A = this chain, B = another copy of it.
């Protein structure tokens, strides 16, 4: 079901920047990294991000105003469930996972309450195993 999306030049540049990064980047950090490629304005980044988010290739981390490449590069659908993120406040590493039980419980609540969900954000802030023992 994974549709291959033909990325435009700017989308490719932004996606590659995120893919190479070892953690989430802010839009302005991406902009700075792409100055050498001709990027001059935030909108160039935000427009590319908008598409990449649509395609499911990138996620937005609401709690830190940053963006990260999807951890499942060959399966951009996330068709079955909601995605959760654990964000380390020490090293910035993000772990992406999904949990069917959580997905079901959220769906249960929305069903029970007549709420039509369009997007769900689950972000766990804290300290990762590596940083916790360091």
Q: Across the interface, which residues of B come within 8 angstroms of A113, CB to CB?
A: 86, 95, 128-129
**A118: Cβ under 8 A from any B Cβ:** yes
User: A101's contact among B101, B118, B121, by CB below 8 Å, is which?
Assistant: B101
How many copies of this chain does the complex contain?
A: 2
User: A126's contact among B97, B110, B133, by CB below 8 Å, is which?
Assistant: B110
Q: Is the CB of A123 within 8 A of B121?
A: yes
For A79-105 the 0/1 string (1 means CB < 8 A from B) is 000001010110000010101011001
Q: Is the CB of B110 within 8 A of A105?
A: no
**A13: Cβ under 8 A from any B Cβ:** no
Q: Across the interface, which residues of B come within 8 angstroms of A116, CB to CB?
A: 126-127, 132
**A38: Cβ under 8 A from any B Cβ:** no
Q: Across the interface, which residues of B come within 8 angstroms of A7, CB to CB?
A: none
A-B contact pairs, 9 of them (CB 8 A): A84-B109, A86-B115, A106-B124, A114-B129, A115-B124, A116-B126, A116-B127, A116-B132, A120-B125
Which residues of chain A have a CB within 8 Å of any CB of chain B?
62-63, 84, 86, 88-89, 95, 97, 99, 101-102, 105-106, 109-110, 113-129, 132-133
Closest 4 CB pairs of A and B: A114-B129, A117-B126, A62-B63, A62-B62
